[in-house]
Amino acid sequence: MKDYDQLVITVPAGELWDEKNECFVSSKEQTLVLKHSLISISKWEAKWHKPYLVRDKKTDEELRDYIRCMTITQNVDPLCYYNLSQSNINEINDYIADPMTATVINDKNKSSSREIMTSELIYFMMFNYNIPAEYAKWHINRLLTLIQVCNIKNSPPKKMSKKAILSRNAALNAERRAKLHTKG
């Protein structure tokens, strides 16, 4: 059965220059199974000591290391991450950007909070909304959408404007007058 929230890529074989030993080293073709999840983000943030889910540009090494953190394949040759093709990178970027859900949240309802999103904050929101811990394995975009849905559904109803209240009351009064056959 195919797991739709993970990505399978094949990294081509290649040769790299080892500056320390001054020789070429080769790596074999490698198939990687990747998962963009809260667990991957937590591993990356623990190593780099900065939030992953920010728009700041990451270095090539930070990006390569995030791919390592997403890898669920065992016994991967560390050199294979240096042989990622542009096609591999494009596939990974498309996978990371995929919403993984049919739910679309209207931008008007999004919080305008400037709070920096870290893995600990996402774990807090999961526990706050009683989202099971195993959902940390979900594709992060799907998990964040679930958290947004919980936030929207648990928000208190919006207050009515004065104009809307007056309009509603006038309609209720008119309905009651008609029902009771009175003038006021």
The verdict on residue 78 lying in a domain is yes
The verdict on residue 149 lying in a domain is no
Q: pTM for the full model? A: 0.78
pLDDT for position 184? 67
pLDDT digits (tens, 9 = 90+) for 147-184: 999 998 888 877 878 888 888 888 888 888 888 888 76
The verdict on residue 143 lying in a domain is no
Number of domains comprising the chain: 1
The verdict on residue 34 lying in a domain is yes
The verdict on residue 26 lying in a domain is yes
The total of other beta-carbon atoms located within 10 Å of residue 125's CB is: 18
Using DSSP's 3-state secondary structure scheme, residue 184 falls into: coil
Q: According to DSSP H, which parts of the chain are helical?
A: 38-48, 60-70, 86-97, 119-128, 140-154, 162-180
Closest CA to 9 of 34, 36, 39: 34
- Mean pLDDT, consecutive 10-residue stretches, the chain (184 aa), reads 82 82 83 97 97 94 97 93 94 95 75 80 96 96 94 83 85 86 78
The verdict on residue 74 lying in a domain is yes
Name the residue range of residue 39's domain.
7-97
The verdict on residue 136 lying in a domain is no
